[in-house]
């Protein structure tokens, strides 16, 4: 059976089951969830710094694990891979079929920033909104603060939002359900190592702060958005719901996808945004696709 959850992936998430309704941390492997909390209680990680006497994986989110150093998290990953490779029979005690689990939000998120970083997407949105591309888009990251409370795990039902809509400049604004509900396929990045206030971060240091990635659907209500955008930008049209996949793919799992940039940026990024590391690890080669299924 084909599965994205290979031994080279091992993404992290939070699960519960009917037999054990307490949310706890897990990793996905093939068609099973690895019960990390049970492994930790049995001393599997006991000699790893940061795990001594702590309940890292017994929490209802991954924050306590994500904040550990990159080296410690890499050791946990190596140990899991070794365990699954060498002790398949013994590991069955710690495996729960994915079809029996309920997924929860993997992280307790305190901040959510929504970036507007695809040129094609920005151009398409400008055409839809009948506005010009802003010149500053080409020089600074285009981003706004999203609504953290709107984050939901994939599979959560979508409720069609209501808002104020104006069909044309001459029409009277009305309060109604959106008739132009849209989606945006994006990648979400979980950061787990905070910076002290006022501290600047170089692009080379970024990997020290990245825990992992999820697929993100930035639900958007285009008719509500077009009326509320001016002058301060979107609010309810982009903040009613944001879906993320339940499993966080770590930076280590994507190392095989690192690649150089093939499309030069014009104009070149300002020095503080330029990548000065190895050219063959400037970005990732990741294919994302969407299939729309009508009921």
Catalytic residue among 121, 209, 236, 272: 121
List the single range of 3-17, 153-167, 250-264 with lowest mean pLDDT.
250-264
Q: Express each pLDDT in 3-30 by its tens digit.
A: 899 999 999 999 999 999 999 999 999 9
List the single range of 2-6, 120-124, 125-129, 150-154 with lowest mean pLDDT.
125-129
| pTM tops 0.95, yes or no | no
Handedness of CA 208, 122, 231, 162 (dihedral sign): negative
Q: Express each pLDDT in 232-246 by its tens digit.
A: 888 999 999 999 999
Q: Please, which residues have CB within 8 angstroms of residue 96's CB and are 6 or more apart in sequence?
A: 15, 17, 26, 32, 33, 35
Predicted local confidence at residue 281, as pLDDT: 87
Predicted local confidence at residue 86, as pLDDT: 78
Per the annotation, where are the binding residues for Mg(2+)?
218, 238, 242
Q: How large is the average pLDDT for residues 71-97? A: 85
Question: What is the spatial distance between Cα 82 and Cα 79, in angstroms, rounded to a whole number?
Answer: 5
Dig out the tokens for 294 from the structure: 């009508």
Residue of 185 and 129 predicted with greater confidence: 185
Question: What is the spatial distance between Cα 134 and Cα 126, in angstroms, rounded to a whole number?
Answer: 9
> What kind of fold does domain 113-244 have according to CATH?
Fumarylacetoacetate hydrolase; domain 2 (3.90.850)
Structure-derived torsion over alpha carbons of residues 195, 196, 198, 203, reported in degrees to the nearest 10 = -20
| Cα distances (angstroms) measured from residue 169 to each of 50, 165, 226, 232 | 60, 11, 11, 19
Nearest CA-CA partner of 248 in 105, 96, 72, 76: 105
- The answer to whether residue 121 is catalytic is yes
| Cα distances (angstroms) measured from residue 283 to each of 49, 67, 183, 263, 278 | 31, 23, 24, 11, 10
User: Is the pLDDT confidence value at 84 over 80?
Assistant: yes
Q: How large is the average pLDDT for residues 173-178? A: 97
Question: What is the spatial distance between Cα 62 and Cα 71, in angstroms, rounded to a whole number?
Answer: 16
The pLDDT-based confidence of 1 (bands split at 50, 70, 90) is: low
User: Is the pLDDT confidence value at 88 over 80?
Assistant: no
Residues in the chain: 295
Domain spans of the chain, in order of start: 12-104, 113-244
Per the annotation, where are the binding residues for Ca(2+)?
114, 184, 186, 218
CATH architecture of 12-104: Roll (2.30)
């Amino acid at each position: 059976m084909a599965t994205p959850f290979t031994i080279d992936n091992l993404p992290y998430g939070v699960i519960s089951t009917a037999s054990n309704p307490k949310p706890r941390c897990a990793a996905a492997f093939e068609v099973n969830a690895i019960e990390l909390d049970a492994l930790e209680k049995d001393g599997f990680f006991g000699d790893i710094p940061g795990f001594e006497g702590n309940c890292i994986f017994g929490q209802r989110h991954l924050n306590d694990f994500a904040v550990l150093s990159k080296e410690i998290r890499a050791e946990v990953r190596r140990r899991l891979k070794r365990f699954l490779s060498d002790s398949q029979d013994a590991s069955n005690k710690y495996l729960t079929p994915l079809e029996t689990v309920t997924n929860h939000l993997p992280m307790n998120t305190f901040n959510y920033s929504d970036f507007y970083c695809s040129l094609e997407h920005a151009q398409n949105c400008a055409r839809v909104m009948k506005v010009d591309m802003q010149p500053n888009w080409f020089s600074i990251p285009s981003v706004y603060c999203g609504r953290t409370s709107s984050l939901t795990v994939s599979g959560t039902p979508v409720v069609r939002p209501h808002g104020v809509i104006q069909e044309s400049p001459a029409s009277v604004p009305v309060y109604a359900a959106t008739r132009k509900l849209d989606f945006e396929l994006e990648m979400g990045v979980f950061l787990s190592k905070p910076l002290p206030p006022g501290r600047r971060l170089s692009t080379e240091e970024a990997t020290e702060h990245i825990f992992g990635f999820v697929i993100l659907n930035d639900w958007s209500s285009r008719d509500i958005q077009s009326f509320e955008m001016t002058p301060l930008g979107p609010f309810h049209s982009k903040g009613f719901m944001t879906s993320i996949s339940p499993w966080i793919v770590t930076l280590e799992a994507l190392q095989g996808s690192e690649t150089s940039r093939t499309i030069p940026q014009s104009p070149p990024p300002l020095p503080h945004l330029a990548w000065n590391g190895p050219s063959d690890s400037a970005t990732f080669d990741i294919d994302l696709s969407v299939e729309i299924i009508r009921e």
